[in-house]
Chains A and B, each alone.
Chain A
């Protein structure tokens, strides 16, 4: 049995145990901690350089169906390892910070989302990649509808909207995956096995690749809130319970990007490079960065602002994908990790503030720093990480993506390409995000305190998840090579495909 299977099924088992009556908090903390230890152990001993194109470590495969060939196969390479690490860290932080009285449903939902995300990142069979993601979505919807914030009618409406959006997105994705599998299959057996798909040389004509890639882009893109298919995301995060918002915005949303990097980019290189697909992607990601940046600027509540900013920052990861160079793709993975940790920290802090202060309206708050120095510092970490301050993880990802789009091979001195103009506009987005983040920081924490709203620092135990996430941002930000070393080889496939 591969350790990866343990990592996937341990949270499910823990969720079952809680449902059957096991004490919620110890059980879920135990499962999350064990998962983090296992993944950290794998990462510590991971040697990416020995893996070739489309090869995975810790593989294990159990055949489910002969034709079409579907097997429950798991494996790990640098990119999935980084995302699994993110999942394990954010899961631990998310279940640790749950403080509700009847906490069982929150723990069960968090564990199931975590298991679904782990399964999606660690499976090497297209069918299970897809199915695990769907598994993770169900508790997300239920938790928004049943335990979300705000009045019941509103949260049901939000849950409904999210369901429809993601359901339709998943169906588009399914269509794309089906087309991909059919076009790649030669002979009588239809294979969903990612390893063999990655290793075979594709003979799919360019026009077909373009359409499949585009379909996958829309399908996966909807799951990542790619503009203009994003409007589910902001209300969903603002409404969702804290742990669900942390896990979905931090981890599960990365699934769409992971899918594009893992499946679409290497398998459909001609599709990714087609000019019309490129241009469509650039326009959509600019929508994320500029339109959503301005929308974020306009928000008057912290939860709405964070939710919209999370949509906005997806644009930068898509920019890395659009550039397609080794530097940019590695930067995209880096930024996926960094954004996951920083947005989870933001939502965790936001949740604490909502519980204690009772309101998140900027106009009603101020001077919170006086009584809560630690939370002020931690919010500073989250805010400056998302602004892209060097020394915190997001900067490393962003600069790699930006530099990747100005790769010497892509830059002609005569004329900047549309990709490079997009980068320049995206850089203006960095200014916009500094404006809204610092405005919020100033409004909430500094200035004179408004009467009636106090924030206190949490006790020792509740500091752990927050400090953990901040420490991750700092360590990875100061020493990006901790993670970059892991992806050294995973990119062989993507790199070859893109150049």
Chain B
């Protein structure tokens, strides 16, 4: 068997599954889910075996081939990052597929759901394997499509279709920049946009000189590329789509809007990290945006009441953490957190899904309560997920990856460190709040009092992810996952940092217990946070005036001036000048065709009789 085959299978199997479901969904019915799950299982198994594969670039398929210099190819770049990411994507993907089989049991449109899920697996694998920017852009757009399809799965619900549209369009704004960045690098690097060649060129090639002599254009390219990541990884100010994306089915939120797709922005930044080495200014911007996102999103999470939205803002905040780490120059710390976060955030979302399932689609945490006794399995796994997210010291994976980021921040930028600690405190606070309100105390609604644990096919993925949330940071495991756990990166201030972060954790958890323990309604009333700093409202005004009103004005101008000047004015002049024109315009069709015929006759006449004479 050729070395290339497993990668082609991992990439194409989900595509075939999606196509088969699209074409034969009527005939397949329930079997559609099995096809999709089957393809996900094979991919997950393959990616486990491939964890030991060597670094290489496999040529799969030339997409657009013009010349040897200019060619956009579909290749598979295999290295530590893509092997580890492939494992995370296919592994979490498989668990979500299995979980969905039960969760979506009563949905009539299950074939469409599983088809879209397979489509997502195909596109996400493409991003992971991409060896050049154009290939990454292609699959980048395709995950956008799958995300659009899955958010809008319940298309009869207006809020779901609006959310799907918003997600796609917000990403499009990011991709506007991404494309400009790709084009700039394409032109500057002689038409080669592969990561390997760009990296060489930045280290010791033409782009290295350019970065010194013309830093502006490199900074511009880097910032444009970063814009793509801002869209996909939902960084402020393009973050507004992610909370709304929670309108999709919960397993989708776990897979796409928590563990994998939203992390693609971070993955892409890591792939392009040479850009931010070459342009420190761009790196600073990345750090700043990441830090602001981490803090703002954590603040917004404090006052949300929808269990999924709390987790969504938490995802935003953690993505901000990762982006900040990459901006500070530590791709390793960023990727490490990406891996651990993928497991525990998927766990939390699937746990939230189990809660929602048990409470008959109730998502307001204030209508839950007392789930500890009703749903013990969900309770335990959710507790582990929460512990990992808030970074309970030493036993959870989240602690180690957060420490890695805080260590980098301590060394590179003290303000970032401060923001990181503040965010960690807030994270501990809002997650404890969620936990106390939903799981402790007494049931606050009929649904909550009748809740019970979901069936095994939903609980099993929770258990597996709980184990991963605990062990994925143990060096042996993270090494196996090629997770690039920051090796021996012990700061002098190591114990100081650990001390500060444990203090932050205790403050957050203690504060939440103090405020929320035994409460039936939210005692805090922070309107600014509850309204998410009014981002959506401001954007609505911008869209209304800067886009829709502007379009209205432009349409008026186009009607009156362009059409007026080019068509009506000459027509009016013609009417004044000749009565012949007036009689033609009297409205008889014969007249128009006559005019046209006359034009053709004139053309023939000119060609046959006039031109020869002119020529001689």
Which residues does A use to contact B, with CB under 8 Å?
65, 67-68, 70, 127, 130-131, 134, 137-138, 141-142, 145-146, 156, 159-161, 163-165, 167, 170-171, 174, 178, 181-182, 185, 188, 190, 192, 227-229, 231-232, 291-292, 294-295, 297-298, 326-327, 330, 367, 369-370, 377, 384, 389-391, 395-396, 399-400, 402-403, 405-408, 410-411, 413-414, 420, 423-424, 427-428, 430-431, 434-435, 438-439, 442, 445-449, 480-481, 484
Contact = CB atoms under 8 A, between A and B. Distances in A.
B488 interface: no
Contact of B611 (A182, A227, A405, A435): A182
A369 B155 CA distance: 8
Interface string B161-199: 110110011001100100110011011111100000000
A446 B210 contact: no
B535 interface: no
B587 interface: yes
B66 A326 contact: yes
Contacts of A163: 592-593, 595-596
Given A390-B141, A481-B64, A406 B184 contact: yes
Given A182-B614, A406-B184, A408-B188, 20 more contacts: A142-B589, A178-B607, A185-B615, A190-B615, A231-B558, A294-B555, A295-B555, A298-B555, A327-B66, A370-B156, A399-B72, A403-B183, A405-B183, A406-B183, A427-B180, A438-B165, A446-B152, A446-B155, A481-B63, A484-B64
Contact of B607 (A70, A438, A442): A70
B540 interface: no
Contacts of A480: 63-64
B554 A295 contact: yes
Nearest to B112: A373
A162 B589 CA distance: 12
B611 A231 contact: no
Nearest to B189: A408
A181 B608 CA distance: 13
A334 to B, nearest CB: 9
B165 A390 contact: no
Contact of B156 (A188, A232, A367): A367
Given A65-B608, A228-B562, A448-B156, A134 B600 contact: yes
Contacts of A449: 156
- Name the 5 nearest CB pairs between A and B, nearest first: A411-B187, A406-B187, A390-B138, A446-B161, A406-B183
B59 interface: no
A141 B592 contact: yes
B158 interface: yes
11 contacts: A68-B607, A127-B607, A159-B592, A160-B592, A167-B596, A167-B599, A171-B603, A228-B565, A298-B555, A327-B70, A396-B63
A108 B297 CA distance: 63
Given A423-B183, A481-B62, A68 B606 contact: no
Nearest to B192: A408
A413 B142 contact: no
Contact of B169 (A192, A326, A438): A438
Given A446-B155, A481-B65, A439 B596 contact: no
A447 B188 contact: no
A146 B161 contact: no
Contacts of B158: 446-448
B176 A427 contact: yes
B611 A181 contact: yes
A431 B551 contact: no
Contacts of B608: 65, 68
B545 interface: no
Given A295-B555, A298-B552, A407 B187 contact: yes
Contacts of B188: 408, 411, 413
B275 to A, nearest CB: 15
B411 interface: no
Nearest to A447: B158
Contacts of A434: 168-169, 172
Contact of B606 (A165, A174, A370): A174
B55 interface: no
A389 B607 contact: no
B260 to A, nearest CB: 19
Contacts of A178: 606-607, 611
A435 B165 CA distance: 8
A435 B169 contact: yes
B616 interface: yes
B521 interface: no
Interface in B543-568: 547-548, 550-552, 554-555, 558, 562-563, 565-567
Contacts of B165: 438-439, 442
Contact of B161 (A170, A407, A447): A447
Nearest to B588: A156
Contacts of A70: 607
B217 interface: yes
Nearest to B178: A427
A161 B548 CA distance: 28
A141 B180 CA distance: 42
Contacts of B615: 68, 182, 185, 188, 190
A443 to B, nearest CB: 9
A414 B214 contact: yes
B551 A297 contact: yes
Nearest to A130: B603
Contact of B137 (A142, A167, A174, A390): A390
A171 B164 CA distance: 49
Contacts of A164: 567, 571, 595
B612 interface: yes
A185 B547 CA distance: 52
Nearest to B224: A424
B186 A406 contact: yes
A400 B169 CA distance: 23
Nearest to B603: A174
B134 interface: yes
B296 interface: no
Contacts of B190: 408
B9 interface: no
Interface in B43-64: 62-64
Given A68-B611, A182-B611, A402-B183, A391 B176 contact: no
Interface string B382-397: 0000000000000000
A369 B152 CA distance: 12
B145 interface: yes
A367 B160 CA distance: 13
Contacts of B173: 431
Nearest to B157: A447
A231 B562 contact: yes
Contacts of B547: 297, 435
Contacts of B134: 399
